[in-house]
Amino acid sequence: MSPASLVSLADPAPAADLATYAWAFGQGVLVDLTPCVYPLIPVTVAVFGAKGVSRGRALYLASAYVLGMAALYTTLGVIVASTGGAFGAWLADPRVVVPITALLLVLATSMFGAFDLQLPVSMQNRLNTVGGAGPAGAFLMGLVSGFISAPCSGPALVALLALIAKSSAAGSSVAFGASLLFTYALGMGTLFFAVALGASLFRPGVWMEHVKSVFGIALVVMAYWFLRPLSNQLADFVLHEDHGLWIGVGLAALGVAAGAVHLSFHGGLTERLRKGAAVAVTAFGGIVALNNLMYVDLPWRYVHDLEELEGTLATLPADKPVLVDFAATWCLPCKEMELQTFGHPSVEPTLVGEYSLIKIDVSDGTADHERMQEMFDSETLPSVLVFGTDAGLAAAVAQARADGRLPEPAVRFRSLVDAATFRTAIAPVR
């Protein structure tokens, strides 16, 4: 079986790794620790009848409540994931990205206490009457709890929904969106299970405001993450290629120690200034660490239209195979392929020394982009093609402009693959 066949038969890479789900679960747990939710957990558990009953009955009722939450959030995940494909093409458009970024920053300021998000009193009162004792009542209470806790859970939820939409645009399935928010709901249900089974909670206090500050900093970093596709300068900003990650982590730790979390914007002027400076340092450190994690320096020849493609191919050395990578700024698997596969220590030296590398950026979806994707049979992303030296790629492209698609490459990848699979597949190409 040829390498190309091996790759085409390989299962697609999973939409997200365990760390993504752990992050979503952790977000749910942190939401429980905010002032909108934490003080009400014992009361809520008592209302749906999980106090003074057997452990089995308590677990049953708590499960009904958590499944109610999960039903709400999973439905939101399915809806966003179903429409995320259309969202993705807009992620390189400042008219879409800038408002999303602004919303995340506004939500961040609410987490820092600049203002309080809350539902109208009449709506809160109506929602508070939903549900009651028993499994059905517990389920209904869980179903509406997402609305009641929205002032604190809203920012975390918006961030997760934005991630789902962006991942869906890059090819992730609806199941990813549903499962990620189901995991988030399970995280939110953790303390409800604990209290239902008899655990005692810490006394509510100022530490809950500290949790909100953590959310605020995370939202600032996420806002930058959405801005990255708009500019190569933003995406490639690193303080040091080798040590930038640790510099970023160090700055973030310094900011936290200086008061990014434990100080308050409600204190005196000095405290507010210290808090603001510490938050800025922490967020900047997070941004530097994020960029260094996602940075790969390869000698790409960037192509944006057909004329540029033909001109680039004409200048390539005849004794090197050609790797063509179709990518877009909003394509997460494309970036993961570059970071985890092309940038892997066992692959990068081979690509740099033995291959000519062409990256075709189709972020804008122009007519030339569509034509090149059609010629290379690369309508979906990611799409990586490897042509041997005998392919005569420059002449083949000129011919394809007149009569259709190019000949099949020696190797083709239509999904994210690991470094070992990639290295094995391209080894025979000369």
Q: What is d(CA 110, CA 298) in angstroms, rounded to the nearest whole number?
A: 40
User: Residues near 369 by Cβ (< 8 Å), separated by ≥ 6?
Assistant: 305, 360, 362
pLDDT in tens, the chain (430 residues): 333 333 333 333 334 568 888 988 988 888 888 776 777 677 676 765 556 667 787 788 888 888 888 888 888 888 877 765 555 556 656 777 788 788 888 878 877 876 655 545 554 444 444 444 567 777 877 777 766 666 667 667 777 877 777 676 555 668 888 888 899 989 988 888 888 777 666 666 777 788 788 888 888 888 887 787 777 677 777 777 778 888 999 999 999 999 888 888 888 899 889 999 999 999 999 988 888 877 777 888 998 888 899 899 888 898 899 999 998 877 767 877 888 899 888 999 999 999 999 999 888 778 889 889 988 988 888 899 999 988 888 888 888 777 767 888 999 998 878 889 999 999 988 8
β-strand partners of 356: 322
> What is the per-residue pLDDT for 84?
56
Q: Determine the topology of domain 296-426 in CATH.
A: Glutaredoxin (3.40.30)
Does residue 386 sit in helix, strand or coil? strand
> What is the per-residue pLDDT for 149?
66
130 — phi, psi (to 5°)?
A: -80, 135
> What is the per-residue pLDDT for 384?
94
> What is the per-residue pLDDT for 132?
45
362 — phi, psi (to 5°)?
A: -110, 30
Q: How big is the chain, counted in residues?
A: 430
> What is the per-residue pLDDT for 3?
35
Q: What is d(CA 403, CA 395) in angstroms, rounded to the nearest whole number?
A: 13
> What is the per-residue pLDDT for 360?
92
Q: Look at residues 322, 390, 395, 392 and name the one whose alpha carbon lies nearest to residue 360.
A: 322
Q: What pTM, to 2 d.p., does this model score?
A: 0.59
The beta-strand segments (E) located in 15-101 are: none
β-strand partners of 386: 323, 411
- DSSP type of residue 39: G
> What is the per-residue pLDDT for 51?
61
Domain spans in the chain, listed from the N-terminal domain onward = 18-236, 296-426
CA dihedral sign of residues 326, 329, 331, 333? positive
